[in-house]
């Protein structure tokens, strides 16, 4: 199957700083990518849909000015958590879909905000 990478795998930062997470499709082009957040013992919650060459689509309740998404190429989407706070600590996962709907997930990024 297709491979999606994510970097970094873990990040610890101080409150108020910004953190950038990269999601790459390694062997296929992804015009669309999805960003999820997963709190402990909970399901994956879709945050936004990243579209190559256009603005991201955010789910209700997700602050677009806090979670900046850039999909600058067909293989890379980035999520920047701006002015991070402890409540932003979570497991962030990206995925890239095929046209048939199958999702290829990245390995996830564990963000801890002190």
Partner 1 sequence: GENVEQHPSTLSVQEGDSAVIKCTYSDSASNYFPWYKQELGKRPQLIIDIRSNVGEKKDQRIAVTLNKTAKHFSLHITETQPEDSAVYFCATHSGGYQKVTFGIGTKLQVIP
Interacting residues with partner 1 (CB under 8 A): 31-32, 34, 41-44, 46, 49, 91, 93, 95, 97, 99-103, 105-108, 110
Closest by CA to 46, choosing from 78, 6, 93, is 93
Closer to partner 1 by Cβ: residue 86 or 100: 100
Closer to partner 1 by Cβ: residue 2 or 82: 2
Distance spanning both ends of the chain, measured CA to CA: 37
Closest by CA to 4, choosing from 102, 80, 113, 111, is 102
Shortest distance in whole angstroms from residue 89 CB to partner 1: 14
């Amino acid at each position: 199957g297709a491979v999606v990478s994510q970097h970094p795998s873990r990040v610890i930062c101080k409150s108020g700083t910004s953190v950038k997470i990269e999601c790459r499709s390694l062997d296929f082009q992804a015009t669309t990518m999805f960003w999820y957040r997963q709190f402990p013992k909970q399901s994956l919650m879709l945050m936004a849909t990243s579209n190559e060459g256009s603005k991201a689509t955010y789910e209700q309740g997700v602050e677009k000015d806090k979670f900046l998404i850039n999909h600058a190429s067909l293989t890379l989407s980035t999520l920047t958590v701006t002015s991070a706070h402890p409540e932003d600590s979570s497991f962030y996962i990206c995925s890239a879909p095929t046209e048939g709907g199958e999702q290829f997930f990245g390995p996830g990024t564990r963000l801890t905000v002190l």
